[in-house]
A and B are shown apart, each in its own frame.
Chain A
Amino acid sequence: MSELLKIEKLNYSHSLKSILRDVDLTVDSGKIVGLLGENGAGKTTLMRLITGSAHGKGVITVAGASKIAERKSHVSFTEHLGGFSGGTKVGRIFDFYQAVYPDFNVARSNSLVDFLQIDKSLKLSAMSKGMKEKLIIALTLSRQADLYLLDEPFGGIDSMSRKKIINSILKWKPEDSTMIISDHYVTEIASILDEIIVVKDKTINCHKQADEIREDNDMGIEEFYESLYEGGDQDD
């Protein structure tokens, strides 16, 4: 187990408004980590800072690389399929990924497409929310990366799709890689998490082992997470 992601003294502001401040974080390789926090707490921003699509002050290192161009090659993050128009066929998106990313693994991609029953002939605009989330998982995991970021993959999808997504994570996440999954509701993924990180009051409020929480506090992860908000003063 080695240090995979290291964030030091990260500060980020947008339009003069401070979004994240004094973030320090270290995550080891081979982990599945839950990134928790309320809507608007800065979870997506933190992911965009890690990939380098947002720029803050401070140092972010992934697998030893801190320069954005190098760091990007270690991170697999599919941000809401934003770059593709509704008329794009799903197969074209896979072709694009294969062309752009040298670490695209065709065999694994095909297995994922089979397992998640993704229809490559569909247009993006014809896909349901659940299908889109499955597509995002398949694209993200088709790359052989060191760090995978999933931004709220379970928002508004049915329980069968959720199970499939969770199983594909367990099946295809490379053993030494780390995956960070953001969510504002933790119960559905609690059993697969090694650790949790809570973003609250513009910074990392808490970073703990999941089984340690259960062992030391005699409470579930959701309960523990909620307890962080009890009696706390609201910032804005």
Chain B
Amino acid sequence: MKFDDKVPIYYQIKEYLYHQIVTGTLQPGEKLPSVRQLAIDVTANVNTVQRALTEMLSEEIIESQRGKGNFVTTDVEGIKQLHNKLVKEQLTLVYQQLHALNLSDDEILSEMKSYMESRDGQHE
């Protein structure tokens, strides 16, 4: 995994796993790899991975089963909320940046629309 060295690593690991959960790469109820395996997968150390997991546990997106490891929550509603939260985070970012370029709300909408249309054109 490629890290941004300016952002705390535990936070990036958390975001990476959340992304896998909301996109279904990690399914509800699926077992997560062991802490050490995750550390090797993303190239971080076990303490940092553990910190990311501890936050995910307290946010109830994963559950720990004693002696068995960590599992993605089966609470689909919770995953949906997480998905909404991630979408909102991205939208906030884009909105703030376009606003900083002096675009009004209407202009943001129309710019976004024409951007998506031009992308569609590229795909076909």
Residues of A whose CB lies within 8 Å of any CB of B are 30-32, 166-167, 170-171, 175, 187, 190-194, 210-211, 214-215, 218-223
Contact = CB atoms under 8 A, between A and B. Distances in A.
Interface stretch (B2-10, B15-23, B59-67, B82-90): B2-10
Contacts of A192: 43-45
Given A170-B36, A171-B36, A211-B48, A191 B8 contact: no
B32 interface: no
B46 interface: yes
B3 A191 contact: yes
A222 B6 CA distance: 10
Contacts of B43: 166-167, 170, 191-192
A191 B43 CA distance: 7
Contacts of A31: 47
Contacts of B10: 211
Question: How would you classify the secondary structure of chain A's contact residues: helix, strand, loop or mixed?
Answer: helix
A198 B51 CA distance: 24
Contacts of B56: none
Given A170-B40, A171-B36, A171-B40, A214 B48 contact: no
Contacts of A30: 47
Contacts of A167: 40, 43
Interface residues of B, number: 17
Given A170-B39, A170-B40, A171-B36, A211 B9 contact: yes
Interface string B29-43: 000000010011001
A193 B45 contact: yes
A214 B8 contact: yes
Given A170-B39, A194-B47, A210 B6 contact: no
A215 B8 contact: yes
B47 A214 contact: no
Given A170-B36, A171-B40, A220 B47 contact: no
A219 B6 contact: yes
20 contacts: A31-B47, A167-B40, A170-B36, A170-B40, A170-B45, A170-B46, A175-B46, A187-B5, A190-B5, A191-B9, A191-B44, A192-B44, A210-B9, A214-B6, A214-B7, A215-B8, A218-B6, A220-B5, A220-B6, A223-B5
A14 to B, nearest CB: 34
Contacts of B6: 214, 218-220, 223
A119 B9 CA distance: 35
